[in-house]
Structure 1
Amino acid sequence: MARRLPPLSTLRSFEAVVRLGSVRAAAGELDRTHGAVSKQIQALQQTLGAPLFDRVGTGVAPNAHGRMLGAMVGRALDDLSAGYAQVVDDLRAPPLHIACSVTFATRWLAPNLAAFTRAHPDIQVRLSMTSARELKTADADLTIAWDRTGFDAGAQGRAIPLAPIAFGLVCAPDYPVERSADSLRAPVRIDHDFTSRAWDLWSERSGVRLETEHSLSFPHSHLAIEAAITGQGVALVDRRLIRRELRANVLVAPTGFAVFPEGLAAISRTVTPGPAAQAMIDWMRDALTAR
């Protein structure tokens, strides 16, 4: 059904006159001439077929119907203004900035991000990929990390748990690994330049000690994974990042996986994450724990 409304320009002029108490003040607010606003008021009264103002001295004042209509139009314009401002804010909102390691971005977040976009098409995501060392100084809305020992106390206090994390020693199926009761022996250990404490945590949690003769070191976990796949040594990797290789038997985990006390977390830039950041946190919690 068509709406029965006079020209909206007449309602806007009318509401301004009622609210401000004079045609002159309304003309100033609307950036129009006194005559133009007066004509709008006259046009509205002609449409209604009844006056909305009474003469008071040299000015005008709304009558009972004018006051009633003025209040209704004022509320409607307030709602319209607030709704328009919300749309403008949404359209101009900066993208949600997420920082994480290169390996986590390429092996988990980027492949799954389409699901978040489908669920939240209004949230733009900007992804920064860096090394574990540089994550400590990342200026992002959310920083994704498990090893938070290098972060300052404030950042650690803003860490929001996402999901458990489990690491395991992995290697190519034919890589020579000898096992005794509580130890493993392998020719080469593949290290990560910036998370070497992972080996200590793994040994503590698994109860297994690794003995090696040589070591290789890489700045990113995905390079360590590739080195392990090609038979260059044994690497320590988060199970979530190599599920495809484990299923394909490209990599094996001779001792299984040990859950680390620190789970994966999102470190918020602010004490209370904004709506977009909270939406990402909620989605990641569900997606990271899904099988």
Structure 2
Amino acid sequence: MPRRLPPLSTLKAFEATARLGSVTRAADELGRTHGAISRQIRALQDHAGLPLFEKAGTGLRLNPQGETLLQVVGHALDQLEQGWQQVLDEARGPSVHVACSATFAMRWLVPHLPGFYRRHPQVRVRLSMTSARDIRHQGADLVLAWDRLSYPERDQARAIRIADVAFGPVCASRYPAAVKRKRLTCPARITHEHTSRAWTVWQDNSGLQVTHKKELSFPHTHLCIEAALSGLGVALVERRMVVDDLAAGRLVAPCGFISFADGLAVVPASERASSPAARAFMAWIADELSEQGRRP
């Protein structure tokens, strides 16, 4: 019996448009024209015999039927993506797909990966970038994160803590930041656009308050670090991300670093999170982070 489904291309166009909130951005992601995506959406609505979007100013938003369909289609496409990647990975040998922030990947994980490959030369690690606002993780098996507030409760509950983290304000060595009477005073405070609560947590844990005349924000931690290196202000970052800059004197930490209770955790994101390759990666990274934490 043939499956009673609309053309899969229309479902892909619908999911991308609904997820990105824009026909234009969906067209860019799928490598199609704006008109082609619009036609796919019209074809899907004609096939269903009902609208899935409604006008919202100059854009579109999902109606209740569209919201229901998005949950179904998004879940199905995620499973297809994971299944497809699993077939490819199994054909290439043992592997684990890890998602983490670009800053953690560039400044810590990739430089330490040779140690993993020496211990497990037969396992291939695939990396993809994620952020506090992007929790789809692109079919990853494991997600590394310390800010998990925006994650679904189910993901927060099954997160496996693997290391302590310590955050502190950092700035260029000659930047005019001063600590006096339980107060850090600086011309500009640098914040991460999607994890701005870190400053609040740091103030609560350190007992220090921050006084600043202006605030700069950036969408990625590595941009916050670069801004601090350039003398634009004081950024709040995890100690491991700037250890080399501190050692070289490019940055200073006027208040030191304060532990954050949640720590760094691994969030299982697929059925392959319990595979031998995934377990090997989790054991290795926990050991490596712990060993680095014991170094002066």
Q: Indicate if the aligned counterparts of 1:202 and 1:258 stay in contact, CA closer than 8 A.
A: yes
The offset of 1:92, in angstroms, is: 4.4
Q: Which residue of 2 aligns with 1:151?
A: 151
Scaled by the length of structure 2, what TM-score is found? 0.65
Question: Is 1:201 equivalent to 2:201 in the alignment?
Answer: yes
Q: How does 1:1-291 map to 2 (within 5 A)?
A: 92-93=92-93, 95-134=95-134, 136-138=135-137, 139-270=139-270, 273-290=274-291, 291=295
User: How many angstroms does 1:158 deviate by?
Assistant: 1.9
Percent identical across equivalent pairs?
50
**Residue 180 of structure 1: CA displacement?**
2.0
Q: In structure 2, what is the Cα distance between the partners aligned to 1:184 and 1:157?
A: 35
The alpha carbon displacement at 1:162 in A equals 1.0
What is the CA-CA distance between 1:131 and the residue it aligns to?
2.9
User: Given the superposition, is the C-alpha separation of residues 126 and 165 from structure 1 closer, same or farther in structure 2, using an over 3 Å criterion?
Assistant: same
Amino acid paired to 1:137: R
Computing the radius of gyration over CA atoms, which structure comes out larger, 1 or 2? 1
Q: Is the 8 A contact 1:158 1:270 kept in 2?
A: no
Distance in 2 separating the partners of 1:206 and 1:102? 27
CA distance in 2, matches of 1:274, 1:145: 20
**Partner Cα separation in structure 2 for residue 263 and residue 229 of structure 1:** 25
Asked whether the 8 Å contact 2:206–2:258 carries over to 1, the reply is yes
CA distance in 2, matches of 1:90, 1:172: 47
Structure-2 residue corresponding to 1:39: none
* 1:164 partner SS: strand
Structure 2 stretches lacking a partner, 5+ long:
1-88
- Matched residues in 1 for 2:133 and 2:220: separation? 10
Give the SS at the match of 2:252: coil
1:224 & 1:209 partners in 2: Cα distance? 20
Secondary structure of the corresponding residue to residue 263 of structure 1: strand
Shift of 1:254: 0.6
The TM-score with structure 1 as length reference comes to: 0.66
Q: Distance in 2 between matches of 1:241 and 1:205?
A: 20
Name the amino acid aligned to 1:279: A
Following TM superposition, by how much is the alpha carbon of 1:132 offset from its aligned partner in structure 2, in angstroms? Answer: 2.7
**Structure 1, residues 59-98: CA drift from partner, whole Å, max 9, x if none?**
xxxxxxxxxxxxxxxxxxxxxxxxxxxxxx9654463110
The one-letter code matched in structure 2 to 1:142 is: L
- SS where residue 165 of structure 1 aligns? strand
Residue 153 of structure 1, CA deviation: 1.6
Superposition RMSD in Å: 1.6
1:191-214 Cα distance to aligned partner (Å, 9 max, x none) = 101111100110011110001111
The 8 Å contact of residues 97 and 127 in structure 1, kept in 2 or not, is answered as yes
Measure how far apart 1:245 and its partner are: 0.7
5+ unaligned residues in a row in structure 1: which ranges?
Answer: 1-88
The alpha-carbon deviation at position 187 of structure 1 amounts to: 0.6
Contact 1:159–1:268 (CA under 8 A) maintained in structure 2: yes
Q: Is the 8 A contact 2:132 2:150 kept in 1?
A: no
The count of residues paired between Structure 1 and Structure 2 equals: 202
